[in-house]
Amino acid sequence: MENRLTDRLWDRDVQAFIAACRQERLSDITVSQKEADNGQSLLAVSATYRSGKGRIQPVGYRWVTSRSGLAGEVYVGKAKAPAGLELDGLFWLALRAGLWGERRHLAFALLALADLRSKADGVRGRLQLEYLGTLGGKASMAQAQELTLQTLNDLAYLYGTRTTPAA
């Protein structure tokens, strides 16, 4: 099993996920999962954004319940906006978060989060199938999902940056 999963590191989709983890302003990337009412599991991504002046803000891409069902949302601290905004909308979000001077860097970091979530979603399906096939009848779908989520978070930890406490 380890050889097949180690070989998976060289998969094109996994390499794209790893590259997305290396965004210069994002650190402490965490991938989580939310179950929708229809049984579908959706991925969310959270991270820490470090401004040029050293301010640290939590940022993320999450799923929230709206009138029309689940909708993607990006957030910076307490400021939030629907996912899929153009740059102007992300600039507005930077203003609400008190990071107007960082609006361009913050906008690209939020776009990188959405890209990271998308790439994680692409890798997730293949890893789950591989875990189910490898573990055979011993594994349930929940176990395969848990192992897959752990693998994604391990990759994000290994290839992303981490916030170090100020000395």
- Considering the domain boundaries, does residue 128 fall inside one? yes
Give the DSSP per-residue string, 80-118. EEETT--HHHHHHHHHHTT-GGGHHHHHHHHHHHHHHHH
Neighbours of 134 (CB within 10 A): 15
pTM for the model: 0.84
pLDDT in tens, 70-103: 888 999 999 999 988 888 888 999 999 989 898 8
- Considering the domain boundaries, does residue 37 fall inside one? yes
What confidence category does residue 165 fall into, taking pLDDT thresholds of 50, 70 and 90? low
Residue 77 pairs in a beta bridge with none
- Considering the domain boundaries, does residue 38 fall inside one? yes
Give the DSSP per-residue string, 26-63. EEEEEEEEEE-TTS-EEEEEEEEEE-TTS-EEEEEEEE
In terms of residue numbers, what domain contains 8?
2-159
pLDDT in tens, 31-55: 999 887 777 789 999 999 988 888 8
**How many domains would you assign to the chain?**
1
Query: Beta strands 41-50 and 26-35: pairing type?
Result: antiparallel
- Considering the domain boundaries, does residue 99 fall inside one? yes
- Considering the domain boundaries, does residue 167 fall inside one? no
- Considering the domain boundaries, does residue 165 fall inside one? no
- Considering the domain boundaries, does residue 164 fall inside one? no
- Considering the domain boundaries, does residue 143 fall inside one? yes
Q: Taking CA 37 as the corner, what is the angle to CA 34 and CA 40, rounded to the nearest 5 degrees?
A: 55
What are the angstrom distances between the C-alpha of 97 and each of 74, 106, 123, 156? 12, 10, 32, 25
Residue-level pLDDT at 167: 41
